[in-house]
Structures are given as C-alpha cells and as structure tokens.
Chain A
C-alpha cells in the first residue's frame, strides 16, 4: 500500500523534535558522557614533525608518573589491521593506514603513542612527558596546486578546447579554496568497553554500521563481536564518517588493559588527525557566443591529499550537467601534501566546485553585460547532457525566479558600487548548485504493540538533522497515531542495518524502508484477523481486508466498522507484531534518470570602502529538493548551511606553517567561524516539488545543497559592491584593501536586461578585468 500523501496530519507539517526535551535539559547522552566503573582515560601523543622518521620513543618518565597504567606505541599496542575497501559494503574510510603502523611520519600530529591513566589529568601529563626523536624532512606544504601538476580527464563531450578558441567571449580564471575543518562542537570521542572478547564502542560516528565494519577489520574480530552505539551525535558535517586513528587507539588500549577506556580528542588534535576538506585550486574556462549561449565549459582542478592516502574532492561533479553546452570537459589530479587525511565535508566537491563555476559564470555575465540570472536561464538544459538522460525532476528555473522575486532582484543595478543604502554600498550576487539524490540500501523494522504504541528500529543515527523526528512522523502518519506514541530506536549497530548519515541520503533512504516495514506489519495484521473472536473479521477473506491509518477494515466498506491495531492485538492476545522493510540503494546502479536536488542562492553584502568592511546582510535561499517531511527542522538545516557558507566565504581556512607543517590556527578562536553576531537575515524557500522517482513521498536530501552556492553568491555580491573579484577564499580584508585605492571606471556600454541576439560581445582581454594586477 502506498503512503497516503493526500490526507496526512504529520508529514509536511512543522514538527518540534521529539528529542528536544532531552537535548535542552542535558539528558541526551553523547559519546563522552558515558562513564564506566574502572574506566581509564587515554590521551594520544602526536608527532611534532610533519615529515620524516620516528627514530626512538622514550616512555619511561611517562610510565613512572602517578596513575599511569600504560603508554602504548607501535611496539606494544598489538596488531591493528589495514581495513579493506569493499564497495559491496560501501565501507567509507579515508585514513586507511592503521595508527602506529610504522615509523614513517606523514603529517604533523600523526599518532606516535597513547598514554593511559586513571584520570584525564594524569593521562594528559603523561602524554606530554613522552619524548620522541625524529629524522625530520622538509614538509610539502605549498598550495599552488595546479602548477606543474598533470591532470587526468574525467568527463568530456564535444571539443571544449576548439570551441573555446572560437568563442567571442571567454573567461579563463583560477579559483582557490583553503583547507577547511569541520569543527563539530562535539569533540571526537571513543569509549571502548570489552567484555569477554566482545567490544562495545560508544563513538562519535555518522554511521554505526560503517564503523562496526571498519573497526571489526581494524581489530581483527568478527562482526558479531563488535557493537557501536551513537545515541546522539554533536554533529559531524562529514568529519565523523571515517573511523579515525584514535578510535583504534582507544579500543586497543581497552583490550590490552582489560578496562574500559575513554578517549576524547582535543580540538587541536581534531584539526590534525580527524579529517578536513582539502584545499582546491580550480581552473574554469568558459566560452560564450554573442547570443549568450555557453559553447564551451572546462573545469579542471587539483585538491590536496595526504602523502599516503587518496581523497578526491569532486569539484566538477555538477559541471557536466548544470548548464547546457555542447562542448565540455573536466580533469583533475591529487596533490600530495604533508597534512592529515582529507575527508568529506558538507557538500564535498559541490561546495568548492560551485564557488569556482558560479564565480566564473558571474564573470561571464559581466563580460557579456547580461544579468546573471538571465545568463543562467539562457543556459538551462532540457536534459542531463552528460549522460543524455532526463532529469527525474529539476526546478532550477523556478528556484531562480522565486528567489529573484523574494530578494527583489529586479531592483538590482548591475554597475559596480551603484547601489547604496544607509550610507553603505550594497552588492547583490547569485549562484546556483546541484547535489545528487538517491538512496543507501537500508532496512528497518516497525513493531505494532497491543498498548497502541509502535516502535521503529533502524541502525541509522541522528546527527542533528532530525532523524528521530522524521521516523516518528513516518510511522505515526501511517498508523494514525501521535508522534509521542512512536518509540524510535536508532544509534546502535545491533539494530537492522540503516543508512549512514552522509550525502544527504538518510531520509530518502528511510522512506521506502519504513513504508515496506509498515506494509508487512499491515499484512500481518490482516492475517491476525482470522484469530479475532468476532466472526465478521475471522471469517473474512484476507484479500477483502485492508489496514488504513492503523485500522483494520473491509475494503468494500471504507467508512464502515474498523478495529485499531491495538484492538486487534489485544483481542488476539498478541503483545506485538513486527514488519520489516528493505529499500535498495541507488549508489551503484546505472541511472535511467538523472536525480539531483538544486538550489539558488541570492546574497546581499554591505561594503564600507572607507574601512574596507564587508558584511553579509541578507541571504535568500531557494531549495528544490523534493518534498520536505519536517519543514521546521528542514528550514533550520538550510539556515545552518547558509551560516556555514557565510563562514566559508568570509572566515574559514586552516593555516599551515610552511616550514613546520603545523596547523597554526587549530583552535576555535583562530579558526574563525560564523557566530551569532555574523549571521545575516536568512530567508528559506522550499519549492516542495515531490520527486517520486526517488521514493514514494518524493523526499530528497537537504543537508548539503543548502551550503553549495552560498560562498559563490557572496563572492559575486562582493564584486558587485567593490569591483574586486576575489578568487581565493576566504575573502579577506587584505584582498579588499589591495585594490581599494585603485577603483576603476567601469565600462558604460548598455546592459541587457534579457538576453537577446543583438548583444555586442565584449572582446576578452587578459588585463581588462577590474582587479587585474596593476
């Protein structure tokens, strides 16, 4: 039976989170909140060089300190295995080298030992007392990534090089984004408890199932010996998908000492050894005709990766299908640097990629002297030109129109610095983005209980996105019961295998699994009818019965007598009845339709040239991501993504000392993130167009798409206000000061309000952009 979408009371309505009261009262238990009798504390020791060899370790002083139970290192921690990468299991692991595996040092902070003591203070002091000798080599730290790097082509159609050469209007620029660190406020933590060869890990992870698989391999035990629990996660943003080295250190220390061990990374350690978004350098070349049509698009990029790990930040993921163009190509390469392993961070690839492509599109709009929104409309594709297949749904045109209307875009005057308000110069910019939609393979069970409650269980987790609440909505809706009658059990690898919280795929994966679990439970309720005392039910043929909103009735008489599931179970003496549902994954399938979500971002900045002060004052974000199950949590998530996008545009970047390879701003004061006071007015529009190709409710993901496009829109707005095209994020005051005194008269040719075929193209000259080096 399909989910009733027409007459629902819970789905699509703003719902307060069911886990709200425990979160606001300090009762929600996060990983580091767990403590056990006899528990020890572990503190890792990190290398103080970025590249070279560990020659020797002296742990004697540390071992003799009060309360210290052990200092483990490569020589005494026991075997830690390299995890295999099995696509069939979709195991995600971005640092494959096990900790302490050899004496090679590949990045600053790489673990060389771990101190374990009775208290956190004792373990911290012991870790500080471990002495290491190194043979240091020069770190590899330059971020001019494209220079001298050979790129490998990944996508192409037509002949982009030739088409560009023949284009009357061209853009050819390089855009850079820095290393960014997730900085979930919850520190990475592992509490490891062994009981007779079985290990329970309370861990800060975005996928309890993925973590179970990886840690089983790392520790050399069987799957049934490993249980992973993450009841609440203090957010992750991709940084808590991989099982980082400290998880192994905690688990191995607890096994060796036969006592529970708690290990909480410091904020500095999280910067060094628990992942980051890699730095990128991207060259975008666009060629356009006089008719404002893209004739060539090339997107070539290099991202940093660790010396012994491969991680690709797919910056050009959306470039093959975002716009219509006959000639397209992209290529990429990795640049090995002596920094820790890179990993996924919110909107991996799409976020830095959109900044580059959408900045280039804005530059093209200025060259063509056409409105940036009109330029995008003009190049809207009818189908996914990269695969030659239709989109399952794509409402980017509507998104741009809705955003432009809400933002007041028609009031925009395109000349740089031409808009003023309250003595400030305004800049208005736009950018669009795309993110994949689909499903992870998932299972879930739903129990209907005689007391009228239901229990849904799934080995997924809520990382702050509202998964607890969405599950209660899905089950409550179908059974016609209030959300507080639904018990939600998640965050435990013992539960039916559920989706990883990554890629914005949890809700779209769970919708079919829950629906099928409820189908099976409903079918069993029909079967149970034969046991009912009333012959009206027990004599009825199963095919004549149906369950609607949790009530058993006759198909032929929908408004007639019906029994609630609780009445059926009570009258048949059954306590509970279970249905299991599976949904298939889409990750490895060959698509017949191109499934994506889209966004359009409109940003306003204010600019005070006298003091070179740039602020983001307003963002309108339009999300085309199918049906929104809980608009209250959904809107919050998009607002949060915009907040993070403001940080990306103006503040964030991990800075490394090129001589030592150490992250210099590895704390929350020097790695600047958006605070309350930096937050602009944020307006969120959900187009709410269901995409039934993804699942029966038409729900797609929203976690990543809300961030993609924000930095590009802000950078474009900054150009509109200042005349300075900043192609390296974050947009720092230095970049704005550099050109502040040399404001340049802009060309006075007329602007096109709508693209026409009469445009006179502006010839491209390399030194013709307002911010060309003078």
Chain B
C-alpha cells in the first residue's frame, strides 16, 4: 500500500467498495464518511496504512436492496436525497448519530449532521428520515 493512499482512495480504487464517495478530499463535505471501530470518520482525512487492525464499516456493510438498514429504508421513504451521491455519507453519519448524545429536536439533528453537505438541498427530508428512525428505535 502506497503510504500516501487515503482510506477513501483505498476503499474505492483498491478494494472497489465505491459506495463511499469523494466530494472534496479535504474533510469538508462528509461524502466519504465511514465508521472506524463504530465512530464516524471522514475517510479522506486518514491514511489507509493507519488502519491495519481497525474495524471499518462502509455503506455496503449496512444493507442492500431487499434487506435495507432501517436508516436506508427511511431515506427512501422520506426521499432523503436527490442525486444520491452524498447519500452514503449522510446515512453513515445518521447511523452513527443514533449512538451519540444528540438531543431530541430537529435542530439537534441539523447540528449533528452539519458536516454532511447535500448540494441538492434535501436537508428537511434527511432530518425527517433520521427522526423517524430515532422515534421508532425509542418504542
């Protein structure tokens, strides 16, 4: 592994797990969000060689058509995307948020997802999807 290779490029170009997206390569858009040992991380800001023994979950590890993760299903139900490019990052952040000390309100969710840009502006639907999953998981 080239020591210059980011975790993002390693996932996409070497392992061919292309569900994780590159939007800025600077940690500014959140499209590359993955979970490393259960925590959300911008995979463009860390080198692949630094994660030899880590457990990494990408969007492909959450679910697939026919057996979607509840958050993925909620994004479909609430139309929480348009182009879908940044969606993997939004969903990986949203799933991580479920275990974070995020307050109950829409504004809390908006703050916790502030690092995930959606240029299509599907933000209200994304928040609705996240809140629907949170409400369901409380029951």
- A residues near B (Cβ < 8 Å) are 16-17, 19-30, 32-33, 35, 119-122, 124-125, 182-187, 232-235, 237, 264, 266-267, 463-466, 632-633, 636-637, 639-644, 667-669, 673-677, 679, 682
Complex CA–CA separation, A709 to B88 (angstroms): 32
The B19-33 residues at the A interface (CB cut-off 8 A) are 19-26, 28-29, 31
CB distance from B42 to the nearest CB of A (A): 12
| Residues A25 and B16 in contact, CB atoms below 8 Å apart | no
CB<8 Å pairs between A and B, sample of 10? A25-B62, A25-B64, A26-B17, A119-B13, A122-B2, A185-B23, A185-B119, A464-B120, A465-B82, A639-B122
Our pick among A17, A235, A465, A639 for the contact of B124 (Cβ within 8 Å) is: A639
| Residues B75 and A639 in contact, CB atoms below 8 Å apart | no
| Residues A23 and B81 in contact, CB atoms below 8 Å apart | yes
Complex CA–CA separation, A237 to B83 (angstroms): 11
Residue of A with least CB distance to B76: A20
* Interface check B41, CB cutoff 8 A: no
Our pick among A17, A20, A185, A264 for the contact of B85 (Cβ within 8 Å) is: A185
What chain A residues lie within 8 Å of B38 (beta carbons)? none
Residue of B with least CB distance to A643: B121
What chain A residues lie within 8 Å of B104 (beta carbons)? none
Complex CA–CA separation, A122 to B117 (angstroms): 29
| Residues A676 and B114 in contact, CB atoms below 8 Å apart | yes
Our pick among B2, B18, B122 for the contact of A121 (Cβ within 8 Å) is: B2
What chain B residues lie within 8 Å of A33 (beta carbons)? 12, 18
Residue of B with least CB distance to A30: B85
* Interface check B5, CB cutoff 8 A: yes
* Interface check B58, CB cutoff 8 A: yes
| Residues A679 and B81 in contact, CB atoms below 8 Å apart | no
* Interface check B46, CB cutoff 8 A: no
| Residues B81 and A186 in contact, CB atoms below 8 Å apart | no
| Residues B16 and A35 in contact, CB atoms below 8 Å apart | yes
* Among B25, B29, B85, B121: residue with most chain A CB under 10 A: B121
Our pick among A19, A237, A637 for the contact of B119 (Cβ within 8 Å) is: A237
Known pairs A24-B91, A234-B86, A679-B110; list 8 more (Cβ under 8 Å): A20-B81, A24-B81, A32-B22, A185-B23, A186-B85, A267-B25, A668-B26, A675-B117
Mask of B43-86 contacts with A, CB within 8 angstroms, 1/0: 00000000000000011101111101000110111010111111
* Interface check B136, CB cutoff 8 A: no
Residue of A with least CB distance to B111: A677
| Residues B83 and A232 in contact, CB atoms below 8 Å apart | yes
Complex CA–CA separation, A234 to B115 (angstroms): 18
| Residues B72 and A24 in contact, CB atoms below 8 Å apart | yes
CB distance from B21 to the nearest CB of A (A): 7
Given contacts A24-B68, A26-B60, contact A121 B5 (CB under 8 A): yes
Complex CA–CA separation, A633 to B80 (angstroms): 10
| Residues B72 and A187 in contact, CB atoms below 8 Å apart | no
CB distance from B83 to the nearest CB of A (A): 3
* Interface check B7, CB cutoff 8 A: no
| Residues B2 and A234 in contact, CB atoms below 8 Å apart | no
Residue of A with least CB distance to B65: A21
What chain B residues lie within 8 Å of A187 (beta carbons)? 22-23
* Among A633, A640, A643: residue with most chain B CB under 10 A: A640
Given contacts A30-B85, A235-B82, A464-B82, contact A24 B75 (CB under 8 A): yes
What chain B residues lie within 8 Å of A266 (beta carbons)? 25
What chain B residues lie within 8 Å of A22 (beta carbons)? 65
Complex CA–CA separation, A35 to B21 (angstroms): 14
Our pick among A20, A119, A640, A682 for the contact of B120 (Cβ within 8 Å) is: A640
CB distance from B63 to the nearest CB of A (A): 6
* Interface check B131, CB cutoff 8 A: no
Given contacts A26-B60, A185-B23, A675-B114, contact A35 B28 (CB under 8 A): no
What chain B residues lie within 8 Å of A24 (beta carbons)? 59, 68, 72-73, 75-76, 81, 84, 87, 91
Given contacts A24-B68, A27-B65, contact A679 B123 (CB under 8 A): yes
What chain B residues lie within 8 Å of A21 (beta carbons)? 65-66, 68, 72, 76
Given contacts A23-B84, A636-B125, contact A668 B29 (CB under 8 A): yes
| Residues A23 and B87 in contact, CB atoms below 8 Å apart | yes
Complex CA–CA separation, A22 to B66 (angstroms): 10
CB distance from B23 to the nearest CB of A (A): 4
Residue of B with least CB distance to A125: B4
Complex CA–CA separation, A30 to B18 (angstroms): 9
What chain A residues lie within 8 Å of B86 (beta carbons)? 185, 234
Given contacts A25-B19, A183-B119, A668-B24, contact A235 B83 (CB under 8 A): yes
Residue of B with least CB distance to A39: B13
The 9 closest A-B pairs by CB, nearest first: A26-B19, A234-B85, A643-B121, A464-B83, A640-B121, A23-B84, A33-B18, A464-B82, A26-B59
| Residues B122 and A669 in contact, CB atoms below 8 Å apart | no
Complex CA–CA separation, A673 to B115 (angstroms): 11
What chain A residues lie within 8 Å of B64 (beta carbons)? 25, 27
What chain A residues lie within 8 Å of B13 (beta carbons)? 35, 119-120
| Residues A632 and B85 in contact, CB atoms below 8 Å apart | no
Residue of B with least CB distance to A679: B123
Complex CA–CA separation, A511 to B8 (angstroms): 41
Given contacts A16-B79, A633-B79, contact A186 B21 (CB under 8 A): yes
| Residues A676 and B79 in contact, CB atoms below 8 Å apart | no
| Residues B23 and A668 in contact, CB atoms below 8 Å apart | yes
Complex CA–CA separation, A29 to B18 (angstroms): 8
CB distance from A478 to the nearest CB of B (A): 24
CB distance from B92 to the nearest CB of A (A): 10
Residue of B with least CB distance to A646: B121
Complex CA–CA separation, A233 to B73 (angstroms): 21
Residue of B with least CB distance to A182: B119
Residue of B with least CB distance to A464: B83
Complex CA–CA separation, A463 to B120 (angstroms): 10
Our pick among A23, A674, A677 for the contact of B121 (Cβ within 8 Å) is: A674
| Residues B9 and A668 in contact, CB atoms below 8 Å apart | no
Given contacts A21-B68, A668-B29, A679-B110, contact A642 B121 (CB under 8 A): yes
What chain B residues lie within 8 Å of A27 (beta carbons)? 19, 60, 64-65
| Residues B88 and A632 in contact, CB atoms below 8 Å apart | no
Complex CA–CA separation, A122 to B12 (angstroms): 16
What chain B residues lie within 8 Å of A30 (beta carbons)? 18, 21, 85
Complex CA–CA separation, A19 to B114 (angstroms): 26
| Residues A636 and B82 in contact, CB atoms below 8 Å apart | yes
CB distance from A630 to the nearest CB of B (A): 10
What chain A residues lie within 8 Å of B72 (beta carbons)? 21, 24-25
Our pick among B65, B77, B116, B120 for the contact of A16 (Cβ within 8 Å) is: B77
| Residues B85 and A119 in contact, CB atoms below 8 Å apart | no
| Residues A25 and B79 in contact, CB atoms below 8 Å apart | no
| Residues B85 and A636 in contact, CB atoms below 8 Å apart | no
| Residues A186 and B83 in contact, CB atoms below 8 Å apart | yes
| Residues A267 and B26 in contact, CB atoms below 8 Å apart | yes
| Residues A669 and B84 in contact, CB atoms below 8 Å apart | no
